[in-house]
Amino acid sequence: MSGFVRKNAFQWAVAVGALALCAGLFFAAYALAEVPMPAIASGLTYNGSAQEGVSEAEGYTLSGQVDATNAGEYTVTATLREGRHWPDGSIEPKRVTWEIDKASLDVSAFTVDSTFTGEEQSLVSTQEVPEGVSVSYGVNGVESERPTATNAGSYEVTMTVEGGGNYKDATIVCEAKIAPAPIAAPEPVSGLVADGKTSQVGVPEGDGYTVEDGSAVEPGEYVAVVTPDANHVWEDGSSSPLQIAWSVGAPEVPWGNLVTLNYDSAVDLPVSLSAYGVLVATADGTVVAQKNPYTRCEIASTTKLLTCWLASEYLDDDSQVSLSSYDTQIAEPFDSPENQPWHTASAAKIEAQCMLTSSNPYAHALARYVARARYGASGTDWGDMTNALRAMDERATEIGMSNTSFVSPSGLFGPGNGVFTSGFSSFSGGMKNNQSTANDMMLLTLNAAAADAPISGQKLGSNDFTCIKTGTNERESMLAKANVNGETYYIVLLAADHTSATGGTDVREIDHIIDWLETR
């Protein structure tokens, strides 16, 4: 009995040990089949291509959307294969999520830098935005359908992005530039010569820059300041103003340019005359005979030789000259309507009539037009007349008339002798008339003749001499030219007796001078 029991006990012990071993082997086999959780991709951002969010692995199968292109959140189910379990010991299918983030739209390529062309330019490129994305723009805080600009400068471009499904909404501020265009600095003009009335352009205006002091009427050395505008720079990239030297040369004067007379061989005039001052000279300024050459006299309308000379120089022959009421007013009561038959006529016609009939209103009109051509319009007739006297004084100085004073371009009397405007009278400074000397009037006559200035041209006297210009007030004056024995002589006769209403003393006394020249 006891042996039976012992045998069965042994057998049970073996059996129990075998079962324990089998159980250990069973559990050991299942522990090796543990499967890690599926790996989920992170940091995925939309790039326009398909991207995998969960990867396949041994031990489970995947269902659902394991890869995608568009931004969004996706779900995948992982199911264990037979004989597997998850790390937590479970064997049920696992649901995992993964995502693709929206991308930020790269707008760096949307703005463009360019160079000024003078035309409107786009500040953004023409490339298309991705599908589903809309971009609206603003320039310097102002909404714009398509940002554009013309002028050089930096522009703040605002882009408002509505990204749709794949891009982030954003407001982005960036800079677009239009650079100034390079230009060449202007070259000064060479060989300029003053003509006394035209503004000579030494540094011309041009596109892209401004010029100060680039033109002048008078001869001289000048410096122009040239500055590029905001849309341009110089070729070296600088934008500072440049100083450009230029010049206007003095003209070769279209007259004899005599400033002194030669008295070396002059004799006292042996002819008895009533004239205060007399001078006889040849065209080169050689004085033949003299009488009081430096005595100042009223010169009356012989003044018109200078007035018409300046007019012929500063006014084109066919330019139109019109009388004003001022011209006529200051001629009263010394104006004869028949002497100025046209209200408006060409400068050449007015000059000829002024010299022939000694029209005072025409002299005033010509003087005003000379002043405008010489200095620009003053805005008033009186201002123009004042400038005309300035021009007369300047020409007198140029030709050496150092003992002459002008109060009128016609030779009319000043205050107390006729009806003048208050302004004109005040300028005359109390003088009764233009005053000069035989010496100065000979310089005027010879220089004006060399310049082919208008003259009266009448043939007068028994010697058929040429009258250049007469002048009459209380006394008579005349400028004349005579050809004697093959030689041309110029005669200045100032302030001879005025013995009759029709005059004639000036003619007779010049005839006496010519008679003497024929016998000398």
| Window from 176-185, 258-267, 334-343 with minimum mean pLDDT | 334-343
* Residue 345 sits in the same domain as residue 453: yes
* Residue 229 sits in the same domain as residue 333: no
| Amino acid at the residue 261 | L
Residues 62, 82: Cα–Cα separation, whole Å? 14
* Residue 370 sits in the same domain as residue 478: yes
**What range does the domain containing 173 cover?**
114-179
* Residue 475 sits in the same domain as residue 359: yes
Residue 383 pLDDT class (50, 70, 90 cuts): confident
CATH number, residue 494: 3.40.710.10
* pLDDT for position 427: 37
Domain end among 126, 148, 179: 179
Taking only the tens place, the pLDDT of each residue in 256-305 is: 778 999 999 999 999 999 999 999 999 999 999 999 999 998 899 999 99
* Residue 62 sits in the same domain as residue 121: no
Percent of the chain with pLDDT over 90: 64
Judge contact between 191 and 309, C-beta under 8 A.
Answer: no
Residue 416 pLDDT class (50, 70, 90 cuts): very low
| Amino acid at the residue 279 | L
Judge whether 16 lies within some domain: no
The predicted model gives 455-474 an average pLDDT of 92
Say yes or no to pLDDT of 501 above 70: no
Judge whether 171 lies within some domain: yes
Structure tokens at 279: 């001078």
Judge whether 107 lies within some domain: no
- What are the backbone dihedrals phi and psi of residue 496, each rounded to the nearest 5 degrees, phi first? -80, 165
Judge whether 491 lies within some domain: yes
Domain end among 179, 195, 226: 179
The predicted model gives 307-329 an average pLDDT of 92
Judge whether 133 lies within some domain: yes
* Residue 239 sits in the same domain as residue 279: no
* pLDDT for position 315: 95
Percent of the chain with pLDDT over 70: 87
Across all residues in the chain, what is the average pLDDT? 86
* pLDDT for position 108: 67
Structure tokens at 321: 């000259």
- Give the count of domains, the chain: 4
Judge whether 48 lies within some domain: yes
Domain end among 100, 123, 149: 100
* Residue 161 sits in the same domain as residue 227: no
Residues 395, 145: Cα–Cα separation, whole Å? 67
Judge whether 222 lies within some domain: yes
* Residue 220 sits in the same domain as residue 308: no
* Residue 431 sits in the same domain as residue 461: yes
* Residue 352 sits in the same domain as residue 490: yes
Q: Largest alpha-carbon pair distance within the chain?
A: 205
* Residue 193 sits in the same domain as residue 220: yes
Judge whether 255 lies within some domain: no
Residues 320, 206: Cα–Cα separation, whole Å? 33
Residues 157, 104: Cα–Cα separation, whole Å? 18
* Residue 50 sits in the same domain as residue 128: no
Judge contact between 484 and 243, C-beta under 8 A.
Answer: no
Residues 189, 214: Cα–Cα separation, whole Å? 10
DSSP string, 481-492: EEEETTEEEEEE
